Structure 1
Amino acid sequence: MTKDSNLTNRSLIELGIHSLNLQLKENQIDQLLAYFHLLNKWNQRYNLTAIRSPKEVVSKHLLDSLSVVTYLKSHRVLDVGSGAGLPGIPLAIACSNNEITLLDSCTKKTRFLMQTVIELGLTNVSIVNKRIEHYQPNYLFDTIISRAFSKLIDFARLTSRLRDPSGKLLAMKGVYPKEEIELLPAAYKVRNIYPLSIPRLEAQRHLIELQ
């Protein structure tokens, strides 16, 4: 029996938050746990994510999403291809002063997101059920982020029109995406590459900042 098997899901979340050097209030941890339970419940019926193990949901979804909080120094954020709300929902919980828009073209997933927002009482989240190509907001975003949404070149081309001139594009990736970076046209440059360390996850994670 592993040491983690003796820990509750709440304890795993709390330890992960501590490892990421985040300062979250008790009610925020309550919201993360409530989201965790909703995700596991809906996943049994609607196949929202491929990950089924509760312990892996904590590390590969919740803590993975929270690992980019430090780089989210902006007010208006767009999560492209949000899916089951990753990273958008954990970020909305941790960054309650930010306005976060979750964009996804899959109706069953946006239905789950709407229910999640209601049950968690998230007042800083908007949900849009559209393809990125058809999305025409009335404002631009300070930060546009994606998690395994597409290749860097497609992410940049599809989202650049939605970014404020002083804003940034953030792509969450696994292993260092050398080939994707090399395929970027001259109009897009990699401003920063941040290696991410996820508690209880040995796999590589990187955050790519484009301009």
Structure 2
Amino acid sequence: MDTPFSPALRQRLDDGLATLDLDRALARPLLDYLALLLRWNRTYNLTAIRDPDEMVVRHLLDSLAMHPFVQPGALADLGTGPGLPGIPLAIVRPDLQVTLVESNGKKARFLREAVRQLKLGNARVAESRAEAVAEPGAYAQITARALDTLAGILEVGGHLLAPHGRLLAMKGVNPVEEIAALPAGWTSLAVHPLAVPGLDAERHLVEVGRAT
């Protein structure tokens, strides 16, 4: 796939991957995904961020900053939009089986095309609202990048988690109030500060599981 990106952009991605302890060879498929997203975004308005350099930081590296905390196995990315963080994670983690859950038809069409063109054998698209995905207990992990509060994510997607499964919620500042408002039966297991290369803003990953 043609990826006509500047040397500076490619260097930013290479450096970011190295900082995140990821193989720089992964830059190629990540840039293929970025090129596809840019092309579709001109017509379908899949993301408000349109600058490729900003996309490297706010889409690719931001999504990948959580990768050390993701375990092998089945992961559902709820309200994935154009595939964030699910597609970058599927690219760098072949040990994952990623289900991209998205109810918007335009975005789901893009996701299916991205999975096909990128030959992501470990990713599939579920064109559905999260609460309507009829796969109870099928996932070791669910994630959501910008979907809702922690309680809201669990309300629509908690049924997807296996008994010892975890919600991995990507947040900005430490969401102390959201953690305090977790519904009965759920508890915060850990809050991990994340350092996103090139991003001067707070990021946290909140792990939530069933209370024992």
Is the shorter-chain TM-score for this pair beyond 0.5, marking a shared fold? yes
Deviations 1:1-48 (A, max 9, x none): xxxxx8432221111000112235x2x321101001111111111111
Match of 1:12 in 2: 12
Match of 1:193 in 2: 191
What is the CA–CA distance in structure 2 between the aligned matches of 1:117 and 1:76, rounded to whole Å?
16
Deviations 1:82-141 (A, max 9, x none): 100000000000001211100010010010011111111111111010011211027610
Are positions 1:162 and 2:163 aligned together?
no
Match of 2:179 in 1: 181
Match of 2:23 in 1: 23
Equivalent of residue 144 in structure 2, options 143, 146, 153: 146
Cα separation, partners in 2 of 1:181 and 1:139, compared to 1, 3 Å: closer
Q: Mark the runs of 5 or more structure 2 residues left unpaired by the alignment.
A: 1-5
Are positions 1:125 and 2:123 aligned together?
yes
One-letter amino acid of the structure 2 residue matched with residue 98 of structure 1: L
Q: Mark the runs of 5 or more structure 1 residues left unpaired by the alignment.
A: 1-5
* TM-score after normalising by structure 2: 0.92
Equivalent of residue 106 in structure 1, options 104, 107, 126: 104
> SS in structure 2 opposite 1:143?
strand
TM superposition shift of 1:206: 0.5
Which portions of structure 1, spanning 4 or more consecutive aligned residues, are displaced by more than 6 angstroms? none
* TM-score after normalising by structure 1: 0.92
Using the aligned pairs only, state the percent identity: 41
Are 1:169 and 1:209, in contact at CA under 8 Å, matched by a contact in 2? Answer: yes
One-letter amino acid of the structure 2 residue matched with residue 127 of structure 1: V
What is the CA–CA distance in structure 1 between the aligned matches of 2:40 and 2:203, rounded to whole Å?
26
